[in-house]
């Protein structure tokens, strides 16, 4: 899977939004498919027009490293899931809680080129991950 720095560089390289959308879809194709038994109501992200599932894993430390799996039934949204995971997966809970991915997406111009429904879904994914991280830090 591409790193966040790689994704930001690739976005800067691609001038046309058509190419950027294709790139987001490509990122989604690289995302490992989520096992059927993880596509549960508990793992479903509320506030997304498409179906989106997020699963978190913790290493159990005081400030745990969290890793995430995710999937969607829509190609472009699956790519957005891949980008969100590039921002957050593999980081400490305290770092995740302090990182606003929407700010990063604004910087690369992603949010302004999404439909309002997709932008809201993106915010819902980010909010859910940061809430989980905040809960882990508080515990």
Mean pLDDT in runs of 10 for the chain (139 residues)? Answer: 91 91 96 96 91 95 95 95 96 96 88 88 95 90
Listed residue (100, 110, 93) closest to 7, CA to CA: 110
Q: Side-chain half-sphere of 54: how many Cα atoms within 13 Å?
A: 29
User: 2: helix, coil or strand?
Assistant: coil
Most distant CA pair in the chain: distance in Å?
45
CB distance 54 to 67 below 8 Å: no
Q: Pick the catalytic residue: 7, 27, 45, 48?
A: 48
**Angstrom distance (rounded) from CA 113 to CA 47:** 19
Report how far residue 130's alpha carbon sits from residue 122's, in angstroms, rounded to the nearest whole number.
Answer: 12
Predicted pLDDT at 83:
96
Residue 36: the pLDDT is: 96
pTM of the model: 0.94
Domains and CATH numbers, the chain: 4-138 (3.90.1010.10)
48 is catalytic: yes
- pLDDT on residue 84: 96
Question: Which of 69, 37, 30, 66 lies closest to 52 in space, CA to CA?
Answer: 69
């Amino acid at each position: 899977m591409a790193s966040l720095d790689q994704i930001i560089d690739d976005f800067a390289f691609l001038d046309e939004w058509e190419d950027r959308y294709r790139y987001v879809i490509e990122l989604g194709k690289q995302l490992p498919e989520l096992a059927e038994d993880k596509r549960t109501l508990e793992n479903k992200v509320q506030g997304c027009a498409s179906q989106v599932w997020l699963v978190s894993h913790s290493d159990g430390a005081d400030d745990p490293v969290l890793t995430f799996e995710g999937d969607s039934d829509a190609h472009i949204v699956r790519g957005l899931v891949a980008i969100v995971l590039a921002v957050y997966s593999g980081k400490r809970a305290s770092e995740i809680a302090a990182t606003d991915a929407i700010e990063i997406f604004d910087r690369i111009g992603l949010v302004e080129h999404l439909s309002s429904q997709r932008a809201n879904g993106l915010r819902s994914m980010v909010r859910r991950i940061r809430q989980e991280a905040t809960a882990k830090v508080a515990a």
